[in-house]
Amino acid sequence: MVDPALTARVKPATAETLERALDEITAQVSGVVWRKVFTGKVLGQEVPDDQVLSATRALLNIQLTGLMVVDPRNGTLNSFVGNYPAPPGFEQTLEQMQPPFSAKPIYVVLNPRSAPAGQNLRGSRAEQYQQLQQQLMDLLAKMSPEERRQAIQQGFYAWMNADPEIRNQMLFEGMRLSFEYWQSLSPDQQREMMEMGRRWFEQYFGGGGNP
């Protein structure tokens, strides 16, 4: 199970086992890890992927060594123990535990520090994208010039690591929409855009004005 928010390209693994292959793949992307996950066994039911991802990320981000949350009224508790040594052969006893766990592992690949894709977003995918764009603009506005430069640089790297076919489609669509937007501008707005482009070019590449 791979977090859908991950879009980096990696070289195919050559290892002989799945776990060594996952080691090779995750080593190519900064911050990305893989974990072997077991869920509670419920007859005839499978846990949705998004719940497995969010729960795995939440556990990996807990800073405490242990935690118990007790509901005295119902006599129930939720517990967590961090970095507990896994005893040899424990996987063979999962289904005999109380409560039992499924012995079928789920291999999860994710970046524990990144927020889940689509968190707190509503509406259609296009509307969610618009909300993300607004959040991005708000975040960039709060950054210092150096932070903004680094963030944009990292965004460029992510763009170059995206799937080439999808990247080319997005580039073509962006060019087409830019042309349509340009045609919708008034002559004054077009002149203003051209002047902004000229100033930007002179600032970064130099120039002595019109010949």
- Which pLDDT score is estimated for 125? 82
Global confidence as pTM: 0.56
**How many angstroms separate the CA atoms of 83 and 78, rounded?**
17
**pLDDT tens-digit profile of 89-130?**
999 999 988 889 999 999 999 988 865 555 566 788 888 888
pLDDT at 183 over 80: yes
Exposure of 3 by Cβ count < 10 A (0-12 exposed, 13-18 middle, 19+ buried)? Answer: buried
What are the angstrom distances between the C-alpha of 169 and each of 119, 162, 164, 165, 197? 26, 11, 9, 6, 25
Q: Which of 68, 70, 65, 71 is nearest to 79 (CA)?
A: 68
| Nearest Cα to Cα of residue 34 among 46, 54, 19 | 19
Tell me what pLDDT residue 115 has: 58
What residue spans define the domains of the chain?
Answer: 18-110, 120-162, 163-206
CB-CB neighbours of 26 under 10 Å: 20
Distances in whole angstroms, Cα of residue 89 to Cα of each of 86, 92, 103, 206:
8, 6, 12, 67
Provide the pLDDT for residue 37.
95
Cβ contacts of 15 within 8 Å, gap of 6 or more: 21, 23, 24
**Residue 174: its H or E element:** helix 164-184
The string of pLDDT tens digits covering residues 27-52 is 988 889 999 999 998 766 788 888 99
Summarize pLDDT for 129-153 with one digit per residue, the tens: 888 888 888 888 888 889 888 888 8
